[in-house]
Structure 1
Amino acid sequence: MNAVDEERLCGRIAVRRHWVKLSDCTEPSELARRHVREFLKGRAAPERVDDAVLVASELVGNALRHTAGGPDCMSVEIYQDAAVLRVHDAGRDVSRVRVRSVGKSLDELTGNGLGLLLVEELAFEWSVGLTAIGKEVVVVLALGAGGLSERDALPHIPAVRPSLTAELHQLDDGH
Structure 2
Amino acid sequence: MNAVDEERLCGRTPVRRHWVKLSDCIEPSGLARRHVREFLKGLAVPERVDDAVLVTSELVGNALRHTAGGPDCMCVEVYQDAAVLRVHDAGRDVSRVRARSVGKSLDELTGNGLGLLLVEELSSKWSVRPTAIGKEVVVVLALDAGGLSERDALPYIPAVRPSLTTEFHQLDDGHREFDGRKGAEA
CA contact (8 A) 1:127 1:158 kept: no
TM-score (norm 2): 0.76
Residues 1:74 and 2:67 aligned together: no
**Alignment partners' CA distance in 2, 1:121 and 1:159:** 22
**Alignment partners' CA distance in 2, 1:156 and 1:57:** 21
- Which structure carries more relative contact order (alpha carbon 8 Å, separation 6+)? 2
Q: Give the C-alpha shift of residue 110 in structure 1.
A: 2.3
* Higher helix content, 1 or 2: 1
Q: Name the counterpart of 2:30.
A: 30
**DSSP 3-state at the match of 1:153:** helix
**DSSP 3-state at the match of 1:38:** helix
Q: Name the counterpart of 1:110.
A: 110
Following superposition of structure 1 onto structure 2, how do residues 149-160 of structure 1 map, counting pairs within 5 Å?
149-158=149-158
**Percent identity (aligned):** 89
Q: Name the counterpart of 1:41.
A: 41
Per-residue CA shift, 1:35-58, capped at 9, x if unaligned? 000000000010000000000000
Q: Name the counterpart of 1:136.
A: 136
CA contact (8 A) 2:84 2:156 kept: no
**Alignment partners' CA distance in 2, 1:22 and 1:137:** 15
Residue type of the partner of 2:37? Answer: R
Residue type of the partner of 2:112? Answer: N
CA contact (8 A) 1:127 1:159 kept: no
Q: Give the C-alpha shift of residue 34 in structure 1.
A: 0.5
**DSSP 3-state at the match of 1:103:** coil
When residues 96 and 151 of structure 1 are mapped into structure 2, their CA distance, relative to the original with a 3 A threshold, is closer
Residues 1:62 and 2:78 aligned together: no
Q: Name the counterpart of 2:19.
A: 19
TM-score (norm 1): 0.81
Q: Give the C-alpha shift of residue 145 in structure 1.
A: 0.9
**Alignment partners' CA distance in 1, 2:143 and 2:117:** 20
Q: How many residues align?
A: 151
When residues 116 and 150 of structure 1 are mapped into structure 2, their CA distance, relative to the original with a 3 A threshold, is closer
Q: Give the C-alpha shift of residue 158 in structure 1.
A: 3.5
Unaligned runs of 5+ in 1: 1-8, 161-175
